[in-house]
Structure 1
């Protein structure tokens, strides 16, 4: 299991190339990369977090995913700092014997990161700056787990 909270960009190819290496019982790897999108003139987004607390919270949920879906491996990368549209903001990868478990675990982790991970996002655009509020659809997605 690998949890990274970082400011630096990452290479999806490099990360996936090393993910799950050495394990011969993996039948599926699922990955998802989130990208900052322009939602009506977004110029930048600033993501804040509390070091230590954020990693612990993500580690707890990733450990739950590892156990619940009997994952062989799990990876979560989430960036913080200033990001602009087109930047990678996060990545989740899961590895398991079967694809269904890998897909479900990845969705579970993504839903958690979207609604519960301790990050605070402020968007900057033509009308100024605004903190990003939780969305009902994100809460609904998490409720299925």
Structure 2
């Protein structure tokens, strides 16, 4: 090992220790930059994956709730068909009861479907927006540091 390399390696301190940047060699500075950029990329990717998973979960819940609403609407329309049949075949009492049940199912199904659709819409697009903003801020900071 040459004297220059020994002097540089003697100045290397453990990570987290305070460094006087004027004392670090170019190689050490480039190594630190490489390590910091790699750490930053890993952190941003972890945040992006977390954000996409969260949005996917919200979308799935919204779609499931909408599915239940649609199912209730189908039952409501089925009850309306039964109401029309009963209305033609019998007197007022049976079809009026079926009409009331159909109306309640349609109202409840419409509300549930609307709530589910709103939740699904709020979860889209499943793009990691926070991560993208964070990366933009990081790039801006690096650009300012290079000036």
With structure 1 as the length reference, what TM-score do the two structures score?
Answer: 0.23
Larger Cα Rg: Structure 1 or Structure 2?
Answer: 2
